[in-house]
Chains A and B, each alone.
Chain A
Amino acid sequence: MSEDRIATNLRKGVLEYCVLALLSHGEKYGLELADDLTSRELIASEGSLYPLLARMRENGLVEPRWDSSGTGRPRRYYAITDHGTEQLTTFAKVWTSLGAQVDALLEGSR
């Protein structure tokens, strides 16, 4: 399997937790989130962010709100919900132990 393929498969599983982690620092609007994720090479374009947000919204992990306080058109901000925070905590635990196991295996195989 190519490097790209491996990276794509791995990203798929962790992407929503990366979004939760970004939102845990404060609410963000769509393009802000997308730019952050693309610069970290976690998504290729905005086209894959909104479908993901749709599912996360459906699962009660994030919540959107319109903010029309600024000038120009209103912004749609996304915030992490309590359920989202719980899920992020659980993921962090799993990631730490899984990462350690994988690291140990890779260390041993060298």
Chain B
Amino acid sequence: MTERDTMNANAEETYLRDVGKRLRSLTPEQRDAVLDDVRAHFADAADAGRSPEQAAESLGDPAQFTERVRAELGHDAGRTDRMWRVLQWLATGAAVFTAMFVSFLWPDESLPGLDSQVEQYGFGIVLLNLLPALVAALPIFVPGRARKVTAVAAAVVLTVLGVTGNATLFYSLPAMLAWAALAVPAIARHGRPAAGWRIAGGALAILPAVLLAVGGLVGSYEIDPDGWLLTGGFIAVGALIMVGRAWAGAVVAVAGVAVLIVATLDVGMITLGIWWAGGVLLTVGVSHAVAHARPGQAVRG
């Protein structure tokens, strides 16, 4: 190879590497095909007596070129961003909801009597309990570059709260949503997620109903006709999640919110269990809905 050939190969390699890096959001097949086009373009240009620099120049700079490719392939860069925003805001909202529940309704067993934290400590405790909500909201307000790191840190903090302590266990709800905010945009970056994800999501949504039905069938308890209807409805919605209907996710999410509200109305031994079930339904439902929303009806963040 002559020195000039080496230099030419470098200009081409640099361009290809840059384009490849900027097209990570495409499927490997789409990206490879575009890179083949670029490679062929450099070869054509060389045959026509043009230098690699001229060939690169006629394609435009890699940022502009790849932006055009993404636009033509309908890869709306804002799409995954909107998914993230919706889920991160929901995690924040869930953390506020959790703070209110923990402050005003949850009888703190570590305290003498069964007073709520507000009755015991005064209003200041509410502000303290709202700190996790601030943590959940932080990634939305930091500059783009620091966003991912902050979002991971926020999810970790919420998870640690959610698995330790007593009242803080309820922060497992915003923790689930914070992890979904990180996972869903990554899973859905090539468009609709792979079938495995929605089958797993559907199965997760059906699980409580199936467990309930099995208990009823083996005679552990009585399920009245309404109960059977509700159980059947749940299994049907789970099946719709499996086939990829976006609205089925919304139904599951609303059911999750209802379960969470039920958990707060009748505080008792199994409240945390109901809370977790509601959290799983809400997280699975919303994740499915935002990942499968068609571009035209995408949820605004």
Contact = CB atoms under 8 A, between A and B. Distances in A.
B40 to A, nearest CB: 3
Nearest to A48: B68
B1 to A, nearest CB: 14
Contacts of A29: 40, 44
B244 to A, nearest CB: 20
Contacts of A57: 33
B60 A50 contact: no
Interface stretch (B69-77, B78-86, B123-131): B69-77
Interface in B8-51: 30, 33-34, 36-41, 43-48
B120 interface: no
A64 B58 contact: no
Given A50-B37, A51-B68, A72-B43, A45 B58 contact: yes
B40 A30 contact: yes
A75 B65 contact: no
A54 interface: yes
Contacts of B74: 55
B58 A47 contact: yes
A31 B44 CA distance: 6
Nearest to B38: A50
Interface residues of A, number: 23
Contact of B44 (A30, A47, A54, A64): A30
A51 B37 CA distance: 9
B164 interface: no
Nearest to B45: A31
Interface string A62-92: 0010100000111110000000000000000
Interface of B: 30, 33-34, 36-41, 43-48, 58-60, 64-65, 68-69, 71-74
Given A46-B58, A50-B69, 19 more contacts: A32-B44, A45-B59, A46-B59, A47-B59, A47-B60, A47-B64, A50-B38, A50-B59, A51-B65, A51-B71, A51-B72, A55-B72, A64-B37, A72-B46, A73-B43, A75-B40, A75-B44, A76-B36, A76-B40
21 contacts: A29-B44, A30-B40, A31-B44, A32-B44, A45-B58, A45-B59, A46-B41, A47-B59, A47-B65, A50-B34, A50-B59, A50-B69, A51-B69, A54-B37, A58-B30, A64-B37, A73-B43, A74-B43, A75-B44, A76-B39, A76-B40
Interface of A: 29-32, 45-48, 50-55, 57-58, 64, 66, 72-76
